[in-house]
């Protein structure tokens, strides 16, 4: 978690240099695909998750801005068995706290189009699992399956709980009232850090690639102007 704190310190060292800052709320859904090496009798299916964040934006000039956003993100996927194991599956819900830092470009009059790109750091907080497996006590019947659900122990000896990756976005904003703007975005992120440490699984690929569909509202403030008025 201390690495996420460093990202905040870096961003707020920039904030006090510029007059116009905006803060708001963003929420939406995500669709996550987990990339890894699979056996022939398995496949991965993307699942829907959630993104909630508090965007903090610093205007650099008429078009450019810097943006950070403490976020809670749920990245989910399902591992399905195929062939003779069809019907067996495991679904994973992975909960992250993540902080992106992006450079953005906006153009337009009232309705403005935007593009953003940057990187993010994230911390893997918790993980849940549920699925269907063979019932070892009833293998002789036609309906010998059992359901289960529970928590996954995140062992730092085998996994990387801190994640680093790249993120980009496109979208639009529109003013609605006295410094308030609504916005809509589509974002794409991909981990650059493997979930599994190399000493635990060699060079096994294990990264999330996630697309987000979000909307939100943001309010602009001019801190330097307010300071001089006082």
Domains of the chain: 2-14+27-80+92-129+151-229 (2.40.160.20)
Strand 64-68 relative to strand 56-59: parallel, antiparallel, unpaired? antiparallel
Count of CB atoms situated within 10 Å of the CB of 55: 22
Q: What is the mean pLDDT of residues 163-172?
A: 96
Tally of helices (H runs) and strands (E runs) in the chain = 3, 11
Token output for 164 = 């680093």
Does residue 48 surpass a pLDDT of 90? yes
The per-residue pLDDT for 228 is 42
pLDDT band at 40 (very low <50, low <70, confident <90, very high): confident
Q: Bridge-partner residues for 26, per DSSP?
A: 53, 216
Question: What token pair was written down for 18?
Answer: 């510029």
Between 124 and 2, whose confidence is greater?
124
Q: Between 156 and 45, where is the model more confident?
A: 45
Query: 226 pLDDT band (50/70/90 cuts)?
Result: very low
| pLDDT recorded at residue 229 | 42
pLDDT of residue 1: 54
Segment 59-71 mean pLDDT: 91
Mean pLDDT of 21-31: 95
Predicted confidence band at 227 (pLDDT cuts at 50, 70, 90)? very low
Short-list 73, 55, 82, CA closest to 209: 73
- Token output for 63: 């078009």
Q: What is the pTM of this model?
A: 0.81
Please report, for residues 103, 217, 222, the alpha-carbon distance to residue 15 in angstroms, rounded to integers and kept in the order given.
13, 20, 11
pLDDT tens by residue, 92-133: 999 999 999 999 999 998 999 999 999 999 999 999 999 887
């Amino acid at each position: 978690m201390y690495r996420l704190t460093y990202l905040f310190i870096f961003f707020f060292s920039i904030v006090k240099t510029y007059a116009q800052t905006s803060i708001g709320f963003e929420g939406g859904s995500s669709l996550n695909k987990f990339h890894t090496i699979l056996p022939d009798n398995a496949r991965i299916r993307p699942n829907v998750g959630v993104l909630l964040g508090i965007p903090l934006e610093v205007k650099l000039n008429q078009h450019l801005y810097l943006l950070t956003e403490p976020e809670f993100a749920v990245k989910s996927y399902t591992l399905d068995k195929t062939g003779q194991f069809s019907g067996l599956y495991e679904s994973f819900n992975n909960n992250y706290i993540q902080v992106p830092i992006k450079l953005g470009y906006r153009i337009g009059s009232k309705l403005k189009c935007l593009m953003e790109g940057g990187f993010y750091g994230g911390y893997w907080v918790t993980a849940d699992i549920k699925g269907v497996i063979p019932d070892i006590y009833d293998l002789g019947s036609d309906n010998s399956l059992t359901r289960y659900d529970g928590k996954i122990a995140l062992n730092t000896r085998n996994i990387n709980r801190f994640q680093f990756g790249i993120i980009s976005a496109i979208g639009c904003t529109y003013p609605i009232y006295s410094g308030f703007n609504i916005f809509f975005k589509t974002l794409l992120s991909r981990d650059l850090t493997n979930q599994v440490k190399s000493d635990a699984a060699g060079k096994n690929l294990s990264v999330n690639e996630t697309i987000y569909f979000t909307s939100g509202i943001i309010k602009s403030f001019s801190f330097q102007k307010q300071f001089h008025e006082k």
